Structure 1
Amino acid sequence: MTTPLSNQIIREITPLSDKDCFYIAERYKTEFTYPIHNHSEFELNFTEKAAGVRRIVGDSSEVIGDYDLVLITGKDLEHVWEQNDCHSKEIREITIQFSSDLFFKSFINKNQFDSIRRMLDKAQKGLCFPMSAILKIYPLLDTLASEKQGFYAVIKFMTILYELSLFEEEARTLSSSSFAKIDIHSDSRRVQKVQEYINTHYQE
């Protein structure tokens, strides 16, 4: 029996390279069209001038204001930003994806990273940051995509994470679970080939 498309999650294969600390995409758009999805990478997603958009993270569904900043570290946690009632033609979106391997245990378990470690753990269910946090990191986030020096870009990114971790009490957990609630469907050709292979040999 085929699951209706509206009840499916795309398993995204992100552009993040094994040789990069993070992948960043800055987009200017008039609408949100990408379907609900999940991926193994951690994600920090910022939207600007997007009032009326519906943000879905797990079983959380909220209509956002002009500014929205969410951190997701749940590897199976589905999420999407839907157009809904947004009429803005000047939407800006900055998406940063990074691997959990970036913070290996001997590194993230150091005392100096306590607040970041707690934040990453809480973000398994999705973490929404208040406007005060957005204002704090906006100058860094605003210029991160245009940073030409890779090392300084990483330092800037780590600073963003640290500053956000200081808003632990104000940040809101979004989903009641870090696991997908609906069937997963891969829209990646690479994953589809694996699925076809498994299905064929399972039937044998």
Structure 2
Amino acid sequence: MEETIPAIEGTLVALSHTLKINGILLLAELCCQGKIQHVLARQPTHIPWQQQMQLFSRVRITNLKTQIISEVQPNFSVLRTTKHSEMSHLEGGGGDDDDDVPKSAFRGDVISYRGIITAVIDEASGIYELDGKTRLVITYLLEVTGELWNENLENVNETNIPSNNSTEKNAPYRCLEEGDSVMLHRVHHTKINGTLHLICCGRSLVEKNR
């Protein structure tokens, strides 16, 4: 049975792109008094939160309901926003060394990385070179988010978020270009033939400046 949660407050430790998976959704993780709370937003009015929330800031989200999204034991549940949910910013936070955030909130198999796109290896597959020495792989994100191709997200809704790297006219859009400065959050890392590869998943966030 769904349980109503009046409000939660905490530090934003993870934020997804808006993802096109059975509709448009947004995922966030808040650390609330040492416990990680997973928030799922599907309401169209909540999708713009992605552009309004900043990692490691403190936020408050109201009017949530619990929802089990996997019944495989142990059950995995999230807090789902409702049409009455609101998000507001709180004072404090702003750093990844926040005392309220336990080290367990930061998985050892994912890292953050800041760099410059120095080459486009395979645009169709989402493979790039960073800083002349590192490979960035965003293949998964190519299929589930339009944000990397949308330069202007002021009017995001279910009809104008492109999927599969296309614009409204169904023409390919350049995702990342040589010279772009990017900040990567929660990316997986591995070495292949001595070269560091950074691999994005659905929980990864790619912030770019051009």
What TM-score bracket applies, with the shorter chain setting the length? under 0.3
1 or 2 for the larger relative contact order (CA 8 Å, sep ≥6)? 1
TM-score of the superposed pair, with normalisation by structure 2: 0.24
More strand by share: 2
More helix by share: 1
